Structure 1
């Protein structure tokens, strides 16, 4: 019955349905008494919020992960994170390979859509590469973290902490078992840099990584790779310098050495790429840093990665369009032109993202209570964090109303599956429009 229903769905509908199914399954497991540290059943709405945050690799939590969930609950959460981060089609592909089954055309289309691939022929090899690369990086990250976690927590707990945070960081999820994110590690640059490296690896995109790692053989890079690497470098370097300037003046890390402070500024530039690990209390940083963090969360990482946001390549395409339009020239870079279709998709994603953030912020401004010492940034940070699947907060999450939780659950889902995929799941985009209308004139600007 379920298989027949799935066969009737379009590719975008299949992707959205798979995520919803996983969220509901995860929420059901978390709602049982066996998942909580107290041995009591947890509110289903909080479980739904937690499962959505895990599957959508956000890290926003209404319940403290370290304190509320027992080992079983934590295993459920990290499993959901891995499924959401690598993608359900990656897991399905591995199952098909293990059983010797072949891919159908529609299954390959789902993989192509979920990873933003240009060609359907790339689907199976890209999935195989994705899984091998992800597991290798996570294993290496776990090994590095274990050098700190095992001496601090003992062998068993140290290995579990290393395993959990390596996956959570690579998948850009931001869930932690420390209870205070990474606030207790601001004076340990090794931990910050390892986590930052995992975040960066997951947020760069699997197509880009394969292209870079095979450069020694191919001696060339894809146009997409060049765009992502250039835009990422500019965004990362600029944000690092700005955070350093603003927080040096504000004194957020005044008690640390210059080396430790630089590591923390770099981490502040990396974590809004949709990771959500916090090395500072964002209610106590400068207003400029809050604003910059919100902008970085909205942008996010690269397409085809574990990151959310509108994507850094979308920002690059829009920036190129604005520059070239100002100069009166076509949009081109690296001796290649950007297609009109790419420009249309970039504009759609950006405009839809701005509208969604505006509507959600307005809704939460009505439903939630803003403390006297805060302004609209208290809510805007929460909204953009969920839309970009980041997980950073200024303290609102534990105090959300039921309405606020529902709004953010929807935002996290939309941010993870992608705005185009989410909205296309409500319509049929395979049919061509037979009726054409005359052009109308409208004044712009």
Structure 2
């Protein structure tokens, strides 16, 4: 019998993805509301449970209640499972169970998997998913052991094991949740933690297609254009972000000034990595200079790479627009990377994603300015963190009104699913036109 997810024929893959995430968030909300999830033994308020479930399933990390002190072991495990489901995607996890049970994957399910990981074709999609699952669980497991051994020196062994597993899942899936209450500010100068956490965040943010490409590099001895672009722009953004943070915060007594040189470097690098979509920190974000916070808004808006556990407009979208600007300035008709031309359709898609995301971002900021009593830059930072599913905050999240929580929760959902996916899910069936309008001339610039 073929493996099927009981998908109605009239439902498109984008609509299935939207509905799947809504189902995960709903189940998470119900579980987190239950008294068995909370240390107080009482029901958690619906809006707080919804916000936390959305933040976990959309792997963001913004919180309105402290995870370590509000939720007990059961509640924290619910959050960890939500992050794993939200990071890898419910279709990927469903495929895992199908493979374990020896079921076949139908053609429509393969189409849905292609949409879920942003692959360019269905060729070898199940093989890619299998390798991604192996890679993901392996790196999470190895990192969990490393972190557990590190924390076993300062807490009971089994607590260290649990902390290692929870934070390994959180970091790899760019979840942004932690059990320490102040993210990882205790480990600013800890090289072992910084290296392990950075590898987790970067690996989760590269994208499943790129992970598969790297997985097979020893066999093929070459990388696809997608992988070359993702690795190049990700490395450049991390490097630029680290340099900007180091320069702007070097004399700030609340962030880097009091740290040693090695701690300054660790903190600058880790915080730049974190803006890719991780949402964790080793220094106090609220004490950063406004110039640094604004630059972080730009990095969070760009986000991680396509088909990854992170959000944002994606690194390749940003790079295509930079390539378009460069080509226009140079008088070239084509956008070329590594001697390969980018199709015009991708440029239109990239422009659409950026414009839709900017419109959503501006609307969210305007709504927050209406409902919340906080500085403009702080609300702008919060909106960028939500739409980029990053999870960094300058202290506004805990003070949100009910309407503010609803706005941010909805923004996190849009940021994780992607504005275009939601648009495709809601649009009517496309009818092919049998004609084209005549070309017109417009003066711009």
TM-score by length of 1: 0.96
State the secondary structure of the residue aligned to 1:305. Answer: coil
Partner of 2:361: 357
Question: What CA distance in whole angstroms lies between the structure 1 residues aligned with 2:435 and 2:12?
Answer: 23
Residues 251, 257 of structure 2: 8 Å contact kept? no
The 3 A distance-change label for structure 1 pair 367 and 238 is same
Aligned to 1:377: 377
- Whether the aligned pair in 2 keeps the contact of 1:283 and 1:394 (CA below 8 Å) is yes
Which residues of 2 match residues 115-194 of structure 1 at below 5 A?
115-194=117-196
Residue of 251, 276, 281 corresponding to 1:278 = 281
Moved more, 422-431 or 56-65: 422-431
Structure 1 residue 60 corresponds to structure 2 residue 62: yes
Cα distance, 1:10 vs structure 2: 0.8
Query: In the alignment, is residue 393 of structure 1 matched against residue 397 of structure 2?
Result: no
Alignment pair present for 1:262 and 2:265: yes
Superposition pairs of residues 400-415 of structure 1, within 5 angstroms: 400-415=400-415
Cα deviation for residue 122 of structure 1 reads 2.9
Structure 1 residues 88 and 98: alpha-carbon distance in aligned structure 2, compared to 1, 3 A threshold: same
Q: Secondary structure of the equivalent of 1:117?
A: coil
Q: Which runs of 5+ in 1 are unaligned?
A: none
SS class of match (2:275): helix
Taking the aligned partners of 2:7 and 2:227, their CA distance within structure 1 comes to: 38
The reply on whether 1:99 has 2:78 as its aligned counterpart is no
* Residues 1:59 and 1:295: Cα distance change in structure 2 (over 3 Å): same
Report the CA distance shift for 1:286/1:304 in structure 2 as closer, same or farther (over 3 A).
same
Residues 112 and 122 in structure 1, CA contact (< 8 A), matched pair in contact too:
no
Q: How does 1:41-52 map to 2 (within 5 A)?
A: 41-52=43-54
Displacement of 1:434 in angstroms is 4.0
- Equivalences for residues 216-295 of structure 1 within 5 A: 216-251=218-253, 252-295=255-298
Stretch moving more, 400-409 or 355-364: 400-409
Q: Which moved more, 1:231-240 or 1:64-73?
A: 231-240
* Shift, 1:440, TM fit: 4.2
TM superposition score normalised by structure 2: 0.96
Residue 309 (str. 1) matches residue 319 (str. 2): no
Q: How far apart are residue 286 of structure 1 and its match?
A: 1.4
The whole-number CA distance in structure 2 between the counterparts of 1:211 and 1:262 is 30
Q: Are 1:6 and 1:14, in contact at CA under 8 Å, matched by a contact in 2?
A: no
CA 257–108 in structure 1, closer or farther in 2 if over 3 Å, else same: same
SS in structure 2 of the partner of residue 181 of structure 1: coil
In the other structure, the counterpart of 2:422 is 422
CA distance in 2, matches of 1:164, 1:315: 32
Q: Considering only aligned residues, what root-mean-square deviation do their CA atoms show, in Å?
A: 1.6
Q: Which stretch of the first structure deviates more once superposed, 55-64 or 419-428? A: 419-428
Deviates more, 1:177-186 or 1:306-315: 177-186
- Using the TM superposition, give the Cα deviation of residue 111 of structure 1 relative to its aligned residue in structure 2, in angstroms: 0.6
- 1:65-99 Cα shifts (integer Å, max 9, x gaps): 00100000001000000001111111111111122
Task: Say which SS state the counterpart of residue 151 (structure 1) adopts.
Answer: coil
**Separation of aligned partners in 2, 1:65 and 1:332:** 46
- Does the CA contact (< 8 Å) of 1:189 and 1:264 recur in 2? no
* In structure 2, distance between residues paired with 1:127 and 1:144: 26
Structure 2 unpaired stretches of 5+: none
